[in-house]
């Protein structure tokens, strides 16, 4: 049987690979063949864990394209990496699709591009196949990029993207304000200039305008305002493996499942879970303050200390807390967050982690690192009111006393948990049958299969 064949072009990063993979698996369940395209460097990271969990099949393939950098070059310098991908990958992507079409009876019918690879939509247009943009980050973050002309018009930034003053930016009254220095192109921590990042993100916005659908890993219940501000954006999330009671795949590191057994031995709602994603690095002073702050709380805790996150994790503290704390290099996070022993989530506020915490009705202690994370923190603390900021002292360090104080405040005030459970219920209803995200996703699947194409596209354009 000939099926629709979708290729998904994924931006480099765990926060991009995870939702793209989940979207791919949803499509396979709808009798669609899917080819996921990562860079070679990311492909090597995820391939082993993907295959171990039977993530690949005849209907779901994972392939790679070189990112244009030399093997010795630093892929943590995201500005340079994304620019090089934009320059070198389109021609290789076109050739790959031609090769697939020569070898597979299921010809490629549609391309889904992660917003940070929106240049791929130009390839899809040239080849005459369906074009879909997918935003794995918060829709509020995307809305700031789509509002660039207005930000220039109102003098918030100049034509090179440089913030012109320190006034908070608010796109709508119902959206959280954003500090000018937290605009996405101004917040990257690498040597690429703000102007270069701004030009790159402006090109992404321009490329995304040719998409026939623009789907977002969020829900109208979580972020009503940006969807109202830009009606063409369609919420289809949260896309989480836990919504379907299956294992998550495509991790960069092997999961240590012993932490689940350890959690089984802890009292209900007692454990602090600490995880800062796949990119965050912490200097030694801050790492020690975190460690000592956790010790001061007298709470059991599970801490993910990723390889390379800090230089030294051999503190004497580790011996002192061995009876009530556990440290792992990587955890099955969705299962951890769903565990009844977990009380709160100390997080870098990446959008995937935010969604996973919200979906499980958890409260947050926030320690954002870069990119969209400070903006996500404002949602958590100021809009949803389900978490607290961990504030730095004059030396730029979050002290052990601050950690102890905020843990006590968060767990001592039942209002935070009550609001978190309320949001959990709303999000669960959006992805359940009949919910807004579920309905939108069903319409999208119909379009992929060629059913009611005109009606589905019209619904997208009229979505509010």
CA 13 → CA 6, 34, 44, distances in Å?
21, 20, 13
Residue with tokens 């979708």: 6
Per-residue pLDDT reduced to its tens digit, 447-458: 999 875 544 444
pLDDT of residue 455: 43
Mean pLDDT computed over 6-34: 94
Q: Where is average pLDDT lowest: 39-43, 189-193, 299-303?
A: 189-193
Q: What is the pLDDT of residue 191?
A: 61
* Torsion, Cα of 318, 321, 324, 325 (10° steps): -30
Rounded to whole angstroms, how far apart are CA atoms 259 and 256? 6
Which domains, from first to last, does the chain contain? 5-245+432-462 (3.40.50.2000), 258-426 (3.40.50.2000)
- Name the token pair of 294: 């956790």
The token pair at 3 is: 């099926």
| Rounded Cα distance, 78 and 148, in Å | 21
Sign of the Cα pseudo-torsion (192, 157, 375, 400, in order): positive
Spatial distance between the Cα atoms of 159 and 195, rounded to a whole number of angstroms? 9
- Check if the beta carbon of residue 24 is closer than 8 Å to that of residue 60: yes
Summary mean pLDDT of the chain? 88
Report the alpha-carbon distance of residue 14 to residue 356 in Å, rounded: 14
User: Can you give the pLDDT at residue 432?
Assistant: 94
Number of H helices and E strands in the chain, helices first, is 18, 13
Cis peptide preceding 238, ω within 30 of 0: yes
Q: What is the mean pLDDT of residues 258-282?
A: 91
Dihedral sign (CA 277, 278, 281, 286): positive
pLDDT band at 189 (very low <50, low <70, confident <90, very high): low
Q: Which H or E run includes 86?
A: helix 78-103
460 vs 327: CA distance, rounded Å? 45
Dmax over CA atoms of the chain, in Å, equals: 65
Q: What is the pLDDT of residues 387-402, one digit of tens each?
A: 999 999 999 999 999 9
How many Cβ atoms sit within 10 Å of the Cβ of residue 231?
12
Whether residue 311 has pLDDT greater than 80: no
**Mean pLDDT, to the nearest integer, of 326-354?**
94
Structure confidence at residue 1 (pLDDT): 76
The Cα-based distances of 422 to 81, 337, 464 in angstroms read 40, 17, 23
Angle between helices 78-103 and 120-127 (to 10 degrees): 20
Share above pLDDT 90 across residues of the chain, in percent, rounded to a whole number? 68
* Least confident window among 7-16, 102-111, 301-310, 359-368: 301-310
Host H or E run for residue 261: helix 258-264
Q: What is the pLDDT of residues 69-119, one digit of tens each?
A: 888 887 777 778 888 999 999 999 999 999 999 998 999 999 999 999 999
User: Closest Cα partner for 333 from 324, 323, 345?
Assistant: 345
Distances (CA, A) of 18 to 46, 109, 123, 263: 10, 23, 24, 24
Q: Which pLDDT score, from 0 to 100, does residue 461 have? A: 45
Report whether 11 contacts 118 (CB < 8 A).
no
At 198, the pLDDT band (50, 70, 90 cuts) reads very high
Contact 91, 100 (CB under 8 A): no
Q: Are 324 and 296 in contact (CB under 8 A)?
A: no
Q: 464: pLDDT confidence band, cut at 50, 70 and 90?
A: very low
pLDDT of 151: 94
3-class DSSP state for residue 363? strand
């Amino acid at each position: 049987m000939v099926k629709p064949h979708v290729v998904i072009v994924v931006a480099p990063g765990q926060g991009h690979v995870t939702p793209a993979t989940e979207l791919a698996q949803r499509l396979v369940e709808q009798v669609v063949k899917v080819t996921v395209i990562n860079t070679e460097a990311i492909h090597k990271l995820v391939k082993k864990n993907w295959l171990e969990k039977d993530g690949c099949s005849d209907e779901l393939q994972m392939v790679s394209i070189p990112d244009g950098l030399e093997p010795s070059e630093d892929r943590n310098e995201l500005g340079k990496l994304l620019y090089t991908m934009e320059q070198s990958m389109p021609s290789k992507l076109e050739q790959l699709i031609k090769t697939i079409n020569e070898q597979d009876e299921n010809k490629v019918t549609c391309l889904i591009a992660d917003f940070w690879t929106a240049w791929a939509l130009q390839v899809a247009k040239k080849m005459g196949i369906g074009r879909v943009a997918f935003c794995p980050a918060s829709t509020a973050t995307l809305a700031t990029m789509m509002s660039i002309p207005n930000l220039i018009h109102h003098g918030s930034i100049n034509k090179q993207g440089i913030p012109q003053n320190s006034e908070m930016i608010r796109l709508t009254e119902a959206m959280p304000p954003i500090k000018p220095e937290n605009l996405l192109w101004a917040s990257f921590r690498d040597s690429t200039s703000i102007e270069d990042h701004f030009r790159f993100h402006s090109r992404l916005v321009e490329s995304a305008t040719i998409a026939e659908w623009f789907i977002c890993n969020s829900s109208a219940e979580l972020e009503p305002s940006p969807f109202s501000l830009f009606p063409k954006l369609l919420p289809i999330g949260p896309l989480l493996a836990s919504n379907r009671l299956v294992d998550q795949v495509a991790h960069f590191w092997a999961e240590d499942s012993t932490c689940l057994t350890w959690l089984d031995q802890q009292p209900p709602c007692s454990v602090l879970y600490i995880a800062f994603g796949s990119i965050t690095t912490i200097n030694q002073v801050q790492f020690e303050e975190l460690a000592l702050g956790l010790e001061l709380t007298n709470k059991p805790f599970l801490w993910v200390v990723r390889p390379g996150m800090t230089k030294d994790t051999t503190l004497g503290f580790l011996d002192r807390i061995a009876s009530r704390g556990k440290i792992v290099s990587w955890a099955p996070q969705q299962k951890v967050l769903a565990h009844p022993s977990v009380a709160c989530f100390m997080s870098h506020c990446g959008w995937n982690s935010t969604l996973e915490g919200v979906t499980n009705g958890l409260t947050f202690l926030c320690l954002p690192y870069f990119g969209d994370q400070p903006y996500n923190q404002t949602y958590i603390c100021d809009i949803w009111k389900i978490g607290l900021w961990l504030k730095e002292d004059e030396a730029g360090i979050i002290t052990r006393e601050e950690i102890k104080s905020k843990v006590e405040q968060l767990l001592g005030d039942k209002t935070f948990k009550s609001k978190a459970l309320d949001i959990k219920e709303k999000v669960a209803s959006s992805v359940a049958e009949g919910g807004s995200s579920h309905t939108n996703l069903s319409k999208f699947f119909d379009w992929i299969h060629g059913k009611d194409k005109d009606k589905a596209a019209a619904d997208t354009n009229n979505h509010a």
